[in-house]
Chains A and B, each alone.
Chain A
């Protein structure tokens, strides 16, 4: 127990991840709008439901429909029904004056308690060619300085993801941790082939073992998440299936180990297979998903998590989570390895 500090680090980091990851609230956001189209030159009244907001206690609610920074309509009135429902009225100008017949506008709600909520491409503004009314409403520029900023440390609000954005810390992090553990197993396999020292083989086996468990956790948590977001436990999505295949490859590694009797040839063959499987797995995980479209978040040709789905507030918890899960994996692999050594010694005696 000389180097115990990393075990403390593992527990502390994972506790931090659990606490911060589950207790930090989401930013307020727009959950649903009852209309998707608006006729230009008329009055548009929207029934809006929001999430995590305090609209009735806020005094300065204001809403905008935005085409670009210079083309914004300010709401004429907002009736807050309760904290998370409101009726918003817009006086739409008679022309888009962009040369197009129809364009999608972004809905923005702002108040001093919740900050800004944004729903991109919420309303399709249509030109009515038969009658053009003049109602005096005009496009104005958005004065960004007059908007109230978002307060406090909060996770971003994304439509469809909602609270499940927290799964980044568990579901995504466990895949990263699994991959790190597999790399460690690969390094031990290579070291075994160079030195022919059996302890490296035991270490490689222990690390592969725990990564299979991590992979199974990743698959099940992914299935739960998919059920809540896509409505099905399993889809034909590339990333899901590639992940399942890579777990299968390592399960096969375990079958291989158990079907060879002789210790030395077992170690040698398992190490060779491990290296081969790892290298063949790389195109499976990193190249094939790039070739096909995927529903998975962080996609559109990019299988890694990035862009809009991972902002700085999520990073503050996501990276510690990877470290914590990797350390827990290290710890468990370490126990398995030590047990194997003791097992061997009792057999020798």
Chain B
């Protein structure tokens, strides 16, 4: 257990080193965020709460595709095959998941900041909003990380990634949107803690399935 934790930290450290050596990809995601929210601002100018939430999740979804798509980039994986073969598949998956989650949470809060500067701030229950945001990001990261490993061996995997991943993120996004609508005061719902629990359950399911099925894909 302790050695696995050590391996995990090593792998994540390696990921970060690589990321900051080649900053272009992260910068492109950030640029995407700014330009997408700015375009939305120029197009809509004034929006209501529901449109705010939908825009937020749509932009976040596309940003997460951009970010996570290259998790199992084939060229990179092939080059470093020997390096990865020292580690358990589940450790590799966990490291990729945590690394993606870290960046996606940062991106989500950055997007929140951008949306609040461009549009007005609708949030009435900040803590509920943050819970929904974190649980939603965990779910999206889980689906995207697994699907990016699925398309690793496929041709034209850029397109395939979005058609495979988008319908699967839907349950997470629908629930997260509902939680956010409650936090905006758009819906009166006393059973919102049940929704949060359900969202957490789906996240756990997605994560567990991913870590269980990943070894089968990794071997290929």
Chain A contacts to B: CB under 8 angstroms: 193, 245-246, 248-249, 252, 255-256, 259-262, 264-265, 268-269, 271-273, 275-277, 279-280, 283-284, 287-288, 291
Extra contacts besides A277-B168, A287-B171 (13): CB < 8 Å: A252-B163, A255-B164, A256-B150, A256-B164, A265-B153, A268-B220, A269-B150, A269-B153, A269-B154, A273-B150, A276-B146, A284-B171, A288-B175
Complex Cα–Cα for A273 and B164 (A): 9
Any chain A CB within 8 A of the CB of B114?
Answer: no
- Residue on A nearest B151 in the bound complex, by CB: A256
- Among B21-29, B46-54, B205-213, the stretch that binds chain A is B205-213
Q: How far is the CA of A276 from the CA of B155 in the complex (A)?
A: 21
Complex alpha-carbon distance, A193 and B217, angstroms: 10
Residues of A within 8 A of B213 (CB): 272, 275-276
A-B contacts counted at CB < 8 A amount to 83
A-B contact pairs, 28 of them (CB 8 A): A245-B167, A245-B170, A248-B167, A249-B167, A252-B167, A256-B150, A256-B160, A261-B155, A262-B153, A262-B220, A268-B220, A269-B154, A271-B216, A272-B214, A272-B217, A273-B150, A276-B168, A276-B209, A280-B168, A280-B202, A280-B205, A280-B206, A280-B209, A283-B198, A284-B171, A288-B174, A288-B175, A291-B195
Shortest CB-to-CB span from A229 to chain B, Å, is 26
Minimum Cβ distance to chain B for residue A194 (Å): 10
Nearest 3 pairs between A and B by C-beta?
A: A265-B220, A272-B213, A259-B154
**Across the interface, do B155 and A259 meet the contact criterion of CB distance under 8 Å?**
yes
Chain B neighbourhood of A280, CB < 8 A: 143, 168, 171, 202, 205-206, 209
A118 to B189 alpha-carbon distance, docked (Å): 37
Q: How far is the CA of A255 from the CA of B156 in the complex (A)?
A: 11
Say yes or no for B178: interface residue by CB 8 A criterion.
yes
B219 CB within 8 Å of chain A: yes
**Of all chain A residues, which has the CB nearest B199?**
A283
Chain B positions within 8 Å of A288 at CB level:
171, 174-175
- CB distance B209 to A279 under 8 Å? yes
Binding site for A on B (CB under 8 A): 143, 146, 150-151, 153-157, 160, 163-164, 167-168, 170-171, 174-175, 178, 195, 198, 202, 205-206, 209-210, 213-214, 216-217, 219-220
Tell me, in angstroms, the Cα distance from A275 to B216 when the chains sit together: 12
If A260-B153, A280-B206 touch, whether A272 touches B164 (CB-CB below 8 Å) is: no
CB distance from A212 to the nearest CB of B (A): 13
Task: Determine the chain B residues whose CB is within 8 A of the CB of A275 once the complex forms.
Answer: 209, 213
Which residues of B sit under 8 angstroms from A260, Cβ to Cβ? 153-155
Closest-by-CB residue of B relative to A246 is B167
With A256-B150, A260-B153 known to touch, is A193 a contact of B167 (CB < 8 Å)?
no
**In the complex, which residues of chain B have a beta carbon less than 8 angstroms from the beta carbon of A277?**
168
**List of B residues within 8 angstroms of A269 by Cβ:** 150, 153-154, 216-217, 220
Closest Cβ–Cβ distance, residue A306 to chain B (whole Å): 22
Asked whether B216 lies within 8 Å of A272 as measured between CB atoms, the reply is yes
Contact A279-B205, Cβ < 8 Å, known A252-B163, A252-B164, A259-B160: yes
Q: How far, in whole Å, are A245 and B168 apart by their CA atoms in the complex?
A: 9
- Are A268 and B217 CB-contacts (below 8 A) given A249-B167, A273-B164? yes
B116 CB, nearest partner CB in chain A, Å? 28
Most A C-beta atoms less than 10 A away, residue of B160, B213, B219: B213
* Distance (whole angstroms) from the CB of A263 to the closest CB of chain B: 11
Query: What is the distance, in angstroms, from A269's C-beta to the closest C-beta of chain B?
Result: 6
Chain B residues with CB under 8 A of A291: 175, 178, 195
**Shortest Cβ distance from residue B158 to the other chain A in the assembled complex, whole angstroms:** 11
Q: Which chain B residues border A262 with CB–CB below 8 Å? A: 153, 220
Chain A residues whose CB sits within 8 angstroms of the CB of B157 once the complex forms = 259
Within the complex, the shortest CB–CB distance from A26 to chain B, in Å, comes to 38
The reply to whether B150 and A283 form a contact with Cβ atoms under 8 Å apart is: no
- Give the chain A neighbours of B160 by CB distance below 8 A: 252, 255-256, 259
Residues of B within 8 A of A268 (CB): 216-217, 219-220
- Complexed CA–CA distance, A248 and B166 (Å): 10
B75 to chain A, nearest CB (A): 17
Distance of A246 Cα from B168 Cα, bound (Å): 9
CB contacts (< 8 Å) of B219 on chain A: these are 268
CA distance A272 to B216 in the complex (A): 7
Beta-carbon nearest neighbor of A287 in chain B: B198
Return the contact of A193 from the options B146, B178, B216 (Cβ within 8 A).
B216
| Assembled-state Cα–Cα distance A246/B167 (Å) | 8
Contacts of B154 in A (CB 8 A): 256, 259-260, 269
